[in-house]
Amino acid sequence: MMQSGYEQHGNRLEEELLRVQLEIQERELEMIRAEIFDNVGQVLSLAKLQLSSQIPKENEHLSYTLASSKMLVGQAIQDLRQVAKPVTIAEIREKGLIYALTHEMETLGRIHNRKIEFSVNEKIDRFDIASELIAFRLLQELLAVFMEVSASRPILAGADLRENDVRFLLSNSPLLHSVQPGIVQEVLPGARQMRIRAEMINADLQFYGTPDGELVIFLTLPLTR
């Protein structure tokens, strides 16, 4: 018996949701590893170097070395308490897309020692769970790209509630932050596959950029009625 178009779309969406959840879990583990090795590992290595160095002869210097090492170890312990807290699928399901994006940007900022500004113009109600999971994964992928290509540029993000949809924006240039789609040249690789995924939740995804690495991205997600 042939399936209807609606049934086929439902099956594709279910398969895509499974892939998205696996990708979110994989990204979660990558972020945990990055924070442990890049942040906590460096602090502990420095503390170890100080403690294993030749003990100063003067008590004053010895006290300073021990106090400094104690501070570094304390910092590492504090970092370990904060680590391993990237966004989980359970959090997305329980607390929603906006909370998950805020959490993701805070975690990325801590790992990469970067500030990501995220503004929401007003309270946004929950979307259906399929839309939230897929939209989160799309924006998670895009944020990872921004971290790689933005160098020292500030990363700006926003969620703009409009009459029938919410427009999410990512930009690494204040000059591009307020432009409308279509003004700059599209340059981001992987755009086609991301657009296919966005279309499954009736979202519109636009990628634009300039040759020197400036990017602006719009994801427009219809409101759940």
Coil vs helix vs strand at 143? helix
Can you give the C-alpha Rg of the chain in angstroms?
A: 22
Per the CB < 8 A criterion, the answer to whether 139 and 170 are in contact is yes
Question: 87-222: which CATH topology?
Answer: Heat Shock Protein 90 (3.30.565)
Phi and psi torsions of 116, nearest 5°: -115, 115
Residue linked to tokens 């209807």: 4
Asked whether 184 and 176 are in contact (CB, 8 A), the reply is: yes
Per-residue pLDDT of the chain (225 residues; tens, 9 = 90+): 445 555 566 677 788 888 888 788 878 777 776 666 666 667 667 766 666 665 555 566 666 766 777 777 777 666 666 655 677 888 899 999 999 999 999 888 887 888 888 999 999 999 999 999 999 999 999 998 888 878 778 899 999 999 999 999 999 876 655 555 544 444 566 788 899 999 999 999 988 777 677 788 999 999 986
Residue 221 contacts by C-beta under 8 Å, 6 or more apart in sequence? 127, 131, 135, 165, 166, 167, 168, 201, 203
Please list the residue range(s) of the chain that carry CATH number 3.30.565.10.
87-222
Find how far residue 141's CA is from the centre of its chain. 7
End-to-end CA distance of the chain: 32
| Cα torsion angle, 153, 104, 134, 95, sign | negative
